[in-house]
Amino acid sequence: MTAQISKVLIANRGEIALRVIRACREMGLKTVAVYSEADEHALHVRFADEAICIGPASAQLSYLNIPNIIAAAEISGADAVHPGYGFLSERAEFAEVVEKCGMIFIGPTPEHMRMMGDKVRARETMIEAGVPVLPGTGVLTSGEEAVKAAEDIGLPVILKASAGGGGRGMKIVRELDRIAATLATAQAEALAAFGCGDMYIERYVERPRHVEVQVVADNHGNVIDLLERECSIQRRHQKLVEEAPCANLSEEVREAMLAAAVKAAKAIDYRSVGTVEFLLDGDKFYFMEMNTRVQVEHCVTEMITGVDIVQEQIRLAEGEAIGHLNRRHRARGHAIEVRINAEDPVTFAPHPGVISALHFPGGTGVRVDSHIYQGYTVSPHYDSMLAKLIVHAPDRERALRRLRRALGESVVEGISTNIPLHRWLLKQDAFQSGEYDTHFLELNLDGAAILSEAHAQV
């Protein structure tokens, strides 16, 4: 059974709001932007068919304000809401309110959000489904229980928040006599960040790769994968560079991982687009989490498959089947994405301010998703990401050369950005060969060399 969408309210801001507007416009759908007072002159406000202010600059009073967003949807006559990523995108209560008000939530069901948002419940579900999971525990009830679990699993272990994400509440422990105290600290951090102090333990993998699989699932029981993405270049558990497909991954491991991701989605009767994330330890991979939304890095998958993931997300919300998609995708070339952030390239400290000059690269195989312009004020109230620069080429070597050229053409003045970091990274042997893991930056960051890139001639 299908439901026709005609007007979409985008409950987000920045580049993802623009991304959804573009997808809707190509599908002939009307769009409604919401904005805070700080975003009055933002591009998503300008390019949407309608725009409604939902509150002050603070995200808590605007982009996280469910009553105000629902009021904007009802006033505008929107019949669907797209949450983007971040903010309310994985808040089950928001999806429930949208549906109770007679609108379509463009995403999975609230139950799927709750199931995968609870990391302990997600682990248990994957174990039942036969998806590989690291040795670990359920919710810990005491320091003594944590010590016993660590003894059984073997050190080192990692404490994780059941409701966690983005690295908050995560603590690595290498000594048994530190477990109880570390647990108490992690619980307090998780409670402050997520309103829930539940913690669990997993075996800690010393030098893993972070690999994720894009899945697409309809309301008719069909699930397919759109291949994998490598996301191992990170700072403070936040991704900086993504590429697809993975370099240096055997076909045997790739096929097993793709099959496991499809199995995971089928096990919960998933509906919508989603991402199943794995830790890769040599040739062994383990389920980490499932993100029930469109990912920041969905663009690299679009580049190698030719599938518009946001449009598919909208069609799935209307109840369409995915029979029009190929059952077995093969990568068409190689794509790499770098996130350009308003931050110090060495310390990663945020750097808001006014952009005094701007030039983005172009040419064959270059895509830029961004919401900034010359004269734009980067607000301290929101995430520091300014743009995503994505390149595509017939193979990884040529993609690296294209990315090097595109970064050389990128100009953002008036604020500090991490463009020098990306230019430095492209010169590193480990990155060039694809032999890197999630600890690469923390172990190899060369501040002096990165700063020299900021002054180097293109």
Q: Which residues are catalytic?
A: 293
Distance, in Å, from the CA atom of 17 to the CA atom of 257, rounded to the nearest integer, reads 31
Angle between helices 179-194 and 143-153 (to 10 degrees): 110
Q: Are 258 and 225 in contact (CB under 8 A)?
A: yes
Q: Is 319 helix (H, G, I), strand (E, B) or coil?
A: coil
Q: Are strands 171-173 and 80-82 parallel, antiparallel or unpaired?
A: unpaired
Other Cβ atoms closer than 10 A to 250: 10
Q: Which residue from 309, 323, 209 is spatially nearest to 257, judged by alpha carbons?
A: 209
Q: Is the dihedral of CA 427, 430, 435, 440 positive or negative?
A: negative
CA distance 432 to 130: 35
Q: To 5 degrees, how large is the angle CA 328–CA 331–CA 333?
A: 160
Q: Is 208 left (phi over 0), alpha (psi -120 to 50) or beta?
A: beta
